[in-house]
Amino acid sequence: MRSLILENEENKNYFYKHITPLKKILKALISNMSAEFDVNGVNDPFLQILILDFFRMMAIGKQHVADEISGILGEVATNTNSDKNSGCAVLYECVKTVMEIGSTSSLKILCLNVLGKFLKSTEPNIKYASLFMIQKVLVYDIKTV
């Protein structure tokens, strides 16, 4: 699907209609816990990551899309538990999305705070992922860092 969306602007316009339903699905995933889809205390992190990736692809170069999804990105960043690897994976994808689409500075600061939590983790892989993302963030917005 990635290549379909990124191929040309016409495809982005076609897939735009799916943003609102996916926002509702993502909101339901972060607010309603279901034992059926629970992975280490996070509700279906695989689907959450795919939705965040879709949002990132759709919002690159389109500020109105970035503005439309900024609310749900803030909710993901604040409501996802970072104590487990599955939650960290979702948060990592959320931070990546926020930084690449040109979100507001307050949302970027929220995501940098998430990366700060990652640095405090005892898990070396999470620390490495945080340092790697901070390095990428420096490319997008050095002022915020």
Domain contains 126: yes
Domain contains 111: yes
CATH number of the structural domain spanning residue 27: 1.25.40
Can you give the pLDDT at residue 61?
81
Residue 43 pairs with which residues in a beta bridge? 38
Domain contains 145: no
pLDDT in tens, the chain (145 residues): 566 666 677 777 788 888 999 999 999 888 877 767 777 778 888 999 999 999 998 888 888 888 889 999 999 988 888 888 888 899 999 998 988 887 777 888 888 888 888 888 888 888 888 888 888 878 766 776 6
Cα 83 to Cα 5: distance, rounded to the nearest angstrom: 33
Residue 42 pairs with which residues in a beta bridge? 39
DSSP 25: H
Quote the domain boundaries for residue 6: 2-140
With 0-12 / 13-18 / 19 or more C-beta atoms within 10 angstroms meaning exposed / middle / buried, residue 104 is: middle
Domain contains 68: yes
In a 3-state reduction of DSSP, which class is residue 103?
coil
- Structural domain count, the chain: 1
Determine contact, residues 116/137, Cβ cutoff 8 Å.
no
Whole-model pTM over 0.85: yes
